[in-house]
Structure 1
Amino acid sequence: MTDSMNRAPVGIIGGTGLTSLSNLQITGEASVTTPWGPPSDRLVKGSLGDQPVVFLARHGNPHRIPPHEVNYRANIQALRDAGVHTIVGVNAVGGIHPEMGPARIVIPDQLIDYTWGRASTFFEGDLAHTTHIDFTWPYDGDARQQLLHAARAAGVPVSDFGVYGATQGPRLETAAEIRRMERDGCDLVGMTGMPEACLAAELGIRYVCLGLVVNWAAGKSDHIITMAEIEQAIDQGMTGVKRILGESVSSLGRLSSLATPQ
């Protein structure tokens, strides 16, 4: 039996600009359901190199589900049921920090949750007892290091820090909201970082964010945000995202099932 056959599959959740992986050798697709309902799309099972992978399009394929209506609980549960121990969440984000302009890749280390009204925990309903998880470090430390090593090996420039501010969407933010988020310490803004990260933590799954900046946040440039600008940044930056994924999945697959702090 080969080493790759012994590894748990790595879960990749693709966001805006990543509804499929062209270099994924597909072995099957599965339409599944969970106690929380169906996930956003079919689970695409395959391999990147010698590493088993399960890919899920966060917004569906084609892109159709807005951020506040994604069934995050079903997505995370479906990946857990598929045997995934580590998830890479690929997120399109807006840049607030001066270093984080369009097409920049960021591997954040912290987040702030501004979302509301989303089903954000598995621990509700008729419970035998209340459960609290430690969420001091929302992104798994070992998985982050593997992404950073992969970026260096692939020659892809990245920012190795960042506070991700998760907003409700689907509208973009006002300039005043971005100024408030900057005062709060946010370096990035996106709409899908939560509750995805905390749900993975509740199930003991390693979770890490691979962010692609697709626009300057509101008020951080001298023009309004356009879809043309976003699409251009995706075209420029997604190649680097895919190179990092291809370089990192094998080492991510070797991580234990126990998530580790920063």
Structure 2
Amino acid sequence: MTKTYLGIIGGSGLYGIDGLQDSIWQSMTTPRGAPSDQILTGRLDGLPLAFLPRHGRGHVHAPDTIPYRANIDALKQLGVTDVLSISACGSFRDEMAPGHFVLVDQYLDRTKGRAPSFFGTGCVAHVSLAHPACDRLTDSVATACTKAEIKAHRGGTYLAMEGPQFSSLAESRLYRDTLGCDVIGMTAMPEARLAREAELCYLTVAMITDYDSWHPDHGAVSITDIIATAHSNAGQARALIRALPSALNTSRDPCSDGCDRALDHAILTAPAHRDPALVTKLGTIAGRIL
């Protein structure tokens, strides 16, 4: 039986973990380069945990320069089984207010120019993303939100935009009214795609900071207001993390959603035609299959 090892990718405003025992910041290298920062590892009430600040401490990476592949590869190298991605987002719904959290279950990807896969020419793979969020992990996080007294909405569609600018009013209305999205952010893609290829259970917790630009009573997005709400949300995120050890099973059966077996029938390139250099790069990600 696999032991749960939780990886947390922290977004804007969340750059560390309180109360981590035997903690150490460690440097990592991967075939895709270095991750966003060193990774903080330790145990939280007995739960093995690895924390990676997505933008780097001091917020040095823009959404389009984050080394997404290196981040996921590094967490997989450490033995992480579950990834909780915490991300600041805007809301398209009145009822999903600033200060609330959304446990995302679907994505609409409008990013461009970001490497979307670990695979490619010489080793082709197609994984299913019909249900990109892990239900088992969502159950545990929903329980932890209740324990931490956080207002959380279970389910929502995340519009991943390129950034770094915020939406125009026309874009905001399109995403809300025509595409039916619930929240908007800049970093969940290709992160969710890569986590599935790495056979990791994954969930985005969207921390709402604003109403984007569609809301008639709130006007354009204000970075000052976003930062103030992000700091408040970070406190709630820390409370959520503290509640996770009692909500997560430290020992787990194979994932009921099949996240940990996503590559079982995904690799199409015949062994004799696989690029040895790419196969080497895929050692951590797809070693179970290759």
TM-score exceeds 0.5: yes
Q: CA deviation at 1:168?
A: 0.3
| Counterpart residue number, 1:255 | 252
**Residue equivalent to 1:144:** 138
Question: Structure 1 residue 249: deviation in Å?
Answer: 3.7
**1:131, distance to aligned residue in structure 2 (A):** 1.4
Native 8 Å contact 1:121 1:199 kept in 2:
yes
In 2, Cα distance between the equivalents of 1:92 and 1:32?
25
How far the C-alpha of 1:257 sits from its partner, in A, is 5.5
Q: Structure 2: which amino acid aligns with 1:146?
A: S
Aligned partner of 1:3 in structure 2 is none
- For 2:42, the equivalent position in structure 1 comes to 46
Q: Please point out which of 207, 210, 218 is paired with 1:215.
A: 210
- The structural deviation recorded for 1:219 is 2.5
Matches of 1:118 and 1:148, distance apart in 2? 30
CA distance in 2, matches of 1:98, 1:254: 39
RMSD: 1.9
Between structure 1 and structure 2, the one with the greater Rg is: 2
Determine what percentage of the aligned residue pairs are the same residue: 31
Query: Are residues 80 and 257 of structure 1, via their aligned partners in 2, closer, same or farther at CA, if it must alter by over 3 Å?
Result: farther
| SS state at 2:35 partner | coil
TM-score by length of 1: 0.92
| Equivalent AA in structure 2 for residue 25 of structure 1 | Q
Map 1:1-262; keep pairs closer than 5 Å: 7-127=3-123, 130-182=124-176, 183-220=178-215, 221-250=217-246, 251=248, 253-256=250-253, 258=255, 260=257
Aligned residues of 1:210 and 1:241 also touching (Cα < 8 A): no
SS in 1 for 2:188: coil
For structure 2, list consecutive stretches of 5 or more residues without a partner in the other structure. 260-290
**How many residues are treated as equivalent by the alignment?**
256
The C-alpha deviation readout for 1:14-42, integer Å capped at 9, x for no partner, is: 01010112232352221111111110000
Identify which range, 74-83 or 216-225, moves more after superposition. Answer: 216-225
Q: Work out the CA distance in 2 between the residues paired with 1:157 and 1:165.
A: 21
Shift of 1:256: 4.0
- Work out whether residues 18 and 238 of structure 2, in 8 Å CA contact, stay in contact via their aligned partners in 1: no
Any unmatched runs of 5+ in structure 1?
A: 1-5
Please identify runs of 4+ aligned residues in structure 1 that moved more than 3 A: 252-259
